[in-house]
């Protein structure tokens, strides 16, 4: 008997075709492992990173989009205030322990360099918070000024824009990421002559395919940009020169795609620093490790610093950020005086006076996370993260001990854990060549690019992991997809 195709069959077939087409195009650009028999586009770098491809963008409400649009300028104000707080602490206008925490574990040479007067007002020009949507609203778990995913979000936005229904619009539009990143680079380059070198370390090699693809797109819109390794940089008396693969031209701007903790492993890093110091080349983000510490959230919540934050941010922004940035504490092993408690931290209704009191907390009481604050190979990609209620008590106690013992070299933070709300979505399984359903929790990563005093929301990447995962990050079992908004959508969130 011949089976009659239903509308549901046709709809499923259309979704399968959409996903396989997106997968094939990602493979061709080098952002996804190669599809058998398919050749790479000229200049593409093959990727080994894989993820699940969703049928449609992740939908946000218009209220949620408004939240993200307002958040960028607020986070830029936060960076400005943090920069000022650090400087005031060094000058004795704020408590000395502020700079002490932000400087902990950093080499003295880097600290001296970061404090140079000519870098005083330099701030990150890319702002990417990691945000967990919960039943009670949005929660920012951390900020990243050297983020991956720029090229991936740009590429996915373009591909989904071609396949999406006409009543949906992608956040930032199909080219928002490319044009926003380009505008930021042009602003950082200013009146300098020379090309833009996106310099990537070996540590960041997994992101090379997406940044190589992105530089191709930048050149297509008239920006002289190149994705290179540090070995391609040559020092001359006039400045830095980009050489290799048919290129020999001066560098006007370096986009730093490497972490400051990795400087000792970056060839010619000292020559780059010297050239920047002598104003022969510009660099972004700046060499300012104090602005790359997760413990900045702890400073925002510290009661002694409330007057500073309220004055620097304005009362409305201060209250908003303290509501969406979870309470955070620096795991400092220094003894707490008998008459003092750790501000705002309680277990079972009891004030905490010793970090090791947390070791005996029940599973229900330890909805807490420990993670390195920064300046460490464990401080990115969810490495070094311990989730208290997701591990046996003895392992949690060991994680606390390790964090406290690491303080001299790498301070750790303790942060409240917030459970993400559930999303329902469909994705393509290339193994079975079928559509599958997933119930998962999302991390939303908006990308903001700073041009002068303008902070632009260029796109949002959603990473959705299965519901049982406590830590959400890019993995082969995760769905990674751009966010969109329905044009005439009601304000009721999807569930």
Of 314, 283, 270, 305, the residue nearest 99 (C-alpha): 305
**Does some domain include residue 235?**
no
Of 258, 202, 203, 248, the residue nearest 226 (C-alpha): 248
Joined together, the tokens standing for residue 177 give 């990421």
Q: Are 201 and 266 in contact (CB under 8 A)?
A: yes
Structural domain including 13 reads 7-44
The pLDDT of residue 7? 34
**Does some domain include residue 249?**
no
Of 104, 105, 103, 85, the residue nearest 95 (C-alpha): 85
**Does some domain include residue 20?**
yes
Q: Are 197 and 229 in contact (CB under 8 A)?
A: no
Q: Residue 141 and residue 328: Cα distance in Å, rounded? A: 10
Joined together, the tokens standing for residue 406 give 């690491």
3-state secondary structure of 75: helix
Q: Residue 150 and residue 295: Cα distance in Å, rounded? A: 25
Spatial CB neighbours of 145, under 8 Å, sequence gap ≥ 6: 124, 126, 127, 128, 285, 291, 292
**Does some domain include residue 372?**
yes
**Does some domain include residue 406?**
yes
3-state secondary structure 110-135: HHHHHCCHHHCCCCCCEEEEEEEEEC
pLDDT in tens, the chain (495 residues): 434 333 333 345 677 888 888 888 888 888 888 766 666 666 667 677 788 899 889 999 999 999 999 999 999 999 999 999 999 999 999 999 999 999 999 999 999 999 999 999 999 999 999 999 999 999 999 999 899 999 999 999 999 988 655 568 899 999 999 999 999 999 999 999 999 999 999 888 889 999 999 999 999 999 999 999 999 999 988 899 999 777 889 999 999 999 999 999 898 899 999 999 999 999 999 999 999 999 999 999 999 999 999 999 999 999 999 999 999 999 999 999 988 999 999 998 899 999 999 999 999 999 999 999 998 888 776 778 999 999 999 999 999 999 999 999 999 999 999 999 999 999 988 777 788 999 999 999 999 999 998 999 999 999 999 888 777 766 678 899 999 998 764 344 443
Provide the pairing of β-strand 137-144 with 454-466. unpaired
3-state secondary structure of 442: strand
The pLDDT of residue 128? 97
Count how many domains the chain has.
Answer: 2
Q: Residue 137 and residue 419: Cα distance in Å, rounded? A: 11
Q: Are 178 and 218 in contact (CB under 8 A)?
A: yes
- Residue spans of beta strands (DSSP E) within 258-363: 282-284, 328-330, 346-347, 350-351
User: Domain boundary at 416, 447, 462, which?
Assistant: 416
Q: Residue 292 and residue 442: Cα distance in Å, rounded? A: 24
The pLDDT of residue 9? 39
**Does some domain include residue 480?**
no
3-state secondary structure of 79: helix
Q: Residue 424 and residue 331: Cα distance in Å, rounded? A: 37
- Residue spans of beta strands (DSSP E) within 135-269: 137-144, 168-170, 195-200, 225-228, 233-235, 240-244, 247-257
User: Domain boundary at 382, 416, 450, which?
Assistant: 416
**Does some domain include residue 186?**
no
Provide the pairing of β-strand 137-144 with 126-134. antiparallel
**Does some domain include residue 344?**
yes
Q: Are 215 and 225 in contact (CB under 8 A)?
A: yes
User: Domain boundary at 416, 441, 474, which?
Assistant: 416
Examine residue 285 and say whether the peptide bond preceding it is cis (omega within 30 degrees of 0): yes
């Amino acid at each position: 008997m011949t089976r009659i195709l239903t509308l549901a069959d046709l709809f499923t077939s259309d979704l399968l075709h959409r996903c396989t087409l997106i997968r094939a195009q990602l493979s061709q650009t080098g952002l996804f492992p190669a599809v058998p028999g398919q050749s790479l586009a000229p200049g593409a770098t093959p990727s080994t990173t894989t993820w699940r491809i969703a049928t449609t963008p992740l939908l946000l409400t218009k209220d949620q989009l408004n939240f993200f649009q307002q958040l960028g300028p607020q986070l830029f104000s936060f960076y400005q205030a943090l920069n000022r707080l650090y400087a005031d602490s060094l000058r004795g206008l704020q408590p000395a322990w502020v700079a002490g925490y932000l400087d902990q574990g950093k080499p003295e040479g880097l600290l001296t360099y970061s404090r140079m007067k000519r870098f005083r007002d330099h701030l990150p020009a890319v702002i990417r918070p990691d945000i967990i949507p919960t039943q009670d609203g949005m929660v920012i778990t951390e900020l990243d000024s050297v983020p991956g995913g720029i090229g991936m979000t740009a590429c996915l936005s373009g591909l989904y824009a071609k396949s999406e229904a006409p009543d949906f619009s992608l956040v930032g539009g199909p080219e928002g990421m490319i044009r926003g990143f380009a505008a930021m680079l042009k602003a950082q380059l200013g009146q300098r002559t020379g090309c833009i070198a996106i310099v990537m370390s070996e540590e960041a090699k997994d992101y090379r395919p997406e940044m190589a693809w992105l530089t191709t797109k930048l050149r297509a819109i008239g920006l002289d940009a190149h994705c290179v390794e540090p070995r391609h940089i040559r020092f001359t008396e006039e400045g830095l020169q980009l050489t290799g693969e048919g290129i020999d031209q001066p560098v006007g701007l370096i986009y730093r795609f490497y972490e400051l903790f990795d400087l000792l492993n970056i060839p010619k890093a000292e020559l780059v620093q010297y050239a920047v110091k002598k104003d022969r080349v510009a660099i972004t983000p700046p060499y300012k490790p104090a602005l790359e510490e997760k413990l900045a959230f702890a400073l925002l919540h510290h009661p002694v610093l409330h007057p500073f934050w309220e004055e620097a941010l304005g009362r409305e922004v201060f209250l908003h950020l303290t509501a969406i940035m979870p309470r955070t504490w620096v795991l400092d092993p220094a003894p707490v005086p008998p008459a003092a408690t750790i501000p705002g931290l309680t277990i079972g209704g009891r004030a905490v006076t010793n970090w090791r009191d947390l070791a005996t907390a029940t599973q229900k009481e330890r909805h807490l996370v420990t993670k390195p604050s920064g300046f460490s190979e464990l401080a990115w990609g969810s490495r070094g993260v311990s989730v208290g209620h997701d591990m046996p008590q003895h392992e949690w106690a060991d994680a606390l001990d390790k964090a406290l013992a690491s303080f001299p070299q790498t301070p750790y933070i303790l942060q409240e854990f917030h459970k993400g709300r559930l999303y329902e979505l469909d994705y393509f399984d290339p193994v079975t060549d079928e559509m599958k359903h997933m119930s998962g929790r999302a991390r939303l990563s908006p990308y903001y690019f700073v041009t002068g005093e303008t902070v632009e929301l260029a796109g949002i990447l959603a990473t959705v992991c299965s519901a049982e995962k406590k830590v959400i990050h890019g993995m082969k079992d995760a769905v990674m997809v751009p966010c969109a908004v329905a044009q005439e959508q009601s304000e009721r969130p999807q569930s």
